Amino acid sequence: MLGSFVSYLGGRIQTIRCGMSASDASAILCGVPQGSVLGPILFLLCTADLLWLIERHNLPPHMYADNMQIYGFCCPTAASQLQQQMSVCIDDVAL
């Protein structure tokens, strides 16, 4: 089963075109093919743990399609505390 996913996701390249010019081909190291049938399922599998991680930091995540936002709110006097809380959360997400 894992071999099927590796085969499905691996070995892809991309180029960027602007007018008559095109970039050299580059390997795609992450993501799923745009418009693929498995894209939404793989996205959910990859992001399910992120929701738990963000909520563990007492911050509300917002997800829509292939985008995620982490936000918070506070009194102006607590802005530096919220900034620290968000920084720690983002560091954990980046791991």
The residue assigned the tokens 């720690």 is 88
* pLDDT(80) > 90: yes
Q: For residue range 56-71, what is the model confidence (pLDDT) as tens digits?
A: 999 998 887 767 888 8
Residue 65, token pair as written in the block: 């399609």
Q: Is 89 exposed, middle or buried (0-12, 13-18, 19+ CB in 10 A)?
A: buried
**Span 7-15, average pLDDT:** 86
Instruction: Output the pLDDT for position 59.
Output: 92
Q: Which of 85, 50, 87 is nearest to 67 (CA)?
A: 50
pLDDT mean across residues, the chain: 86
Q: What's the number of domains the chain is made of?
A: 1
Q: Which tens digits make up the pLDDT trace of 23-49?
A: 999 998 877 777 888 888 887 887 788
pLDDT at 64: 77
Q: Nearest to residue 73, comparing CAs of 89, 63, 64, 85?
A: 85
Q: Which of 26, 93, 12 lies closest to 57 in space, CA to CA? A: 93
Domain span at 11: 2-94
What pLDDT, on a 0 to 100 scale, did the predictor assign at position 1? 67
